[in-house]
Amino acid sequence: MGAIVTGYAYVRPDGKPSEGALGMYDDSFLDDYRALVDAVHARGASIVLQLVYGGSKSKLGPDDPRRQLPHAGILGASPVEHPKTHLVPREASPHELVELARAFGAAAARAKACGFDGVEVHVAHGYLLSQFLSPLFNERSDEYGGDLRNRARLAVECIRAVRAAVGEEYPVLAKVNSCDDAGDPTGAKGGLGEEESAQVCGWLVEAGASCIEVTGDWHAASSRAQDGEPYFARFGARVARRLDVPVIVTGGWRDYDVIEAHLANDGIAAVGMSRPLICEPDLLARWKSGDMRPSICIACGACQKSPGIPCPLRNA
Which residue ranges make up the site for ligand FMN (CB under 6 A)? 7-8, 50, 122, 125, 175, 215, 218, 250-253, 273-276, 303-304, 309
Strands 247-250 and 211-215 come out as parallel
Do 120 and 162 meet the contact criterion of CB atoms below 8 Å apart? no
Nearer to ligand FMN, 131 or 274 (CB): 274
Nearer to ligand FMN, 54 or 187 (CB): 54
Q: Give 249's strand partners.
A: 214, 271
Least distance CB 297 / ligand FMN (angstroms): 7
CA distance 154 to 95: 11
Least distance CB 285 / ligand FMN (angstroms): 17
In the residue annotation, 53 being an active-site residue is answered as no
Least distance CB 252 / ligand FMN (angstroms): 5
Least distance CB 221 / ligand FMN (angstroms): 8
Least distance CB 274 / ligand FMN (angstroms): 3
The b/e string for 237-246 (b: 16+ C-beta within 10 A; e otherwise) is bbbbeebebb
Q: What's the CA dihedral at 189, 192, 195, 200 to 10 degrees?
A: 170
CA distance 177 to 194: 8
H-type helices in the chain, by residue range?
A: 30-42, 94-114, 128-133, 148-151, 153-166, 194-207, 218-224, 233-242, 256-265, 275-279, 283-288, 302-305
Among the listed residues 127, 144, 170, 231, the single catalytic one is: 127
Nearer to ligand FMN, 126 or 208 (CB): 126
CA distance 161 to 18: 24
Nearer to ligand FMN, 78 or 215 (CB): 215
Nearer to ligand FMN, 45 or 69 (CB): 45
- Which residue, 146, 148, 127, is CA-closest to 203? 148
Residues marked as catalytic? 127
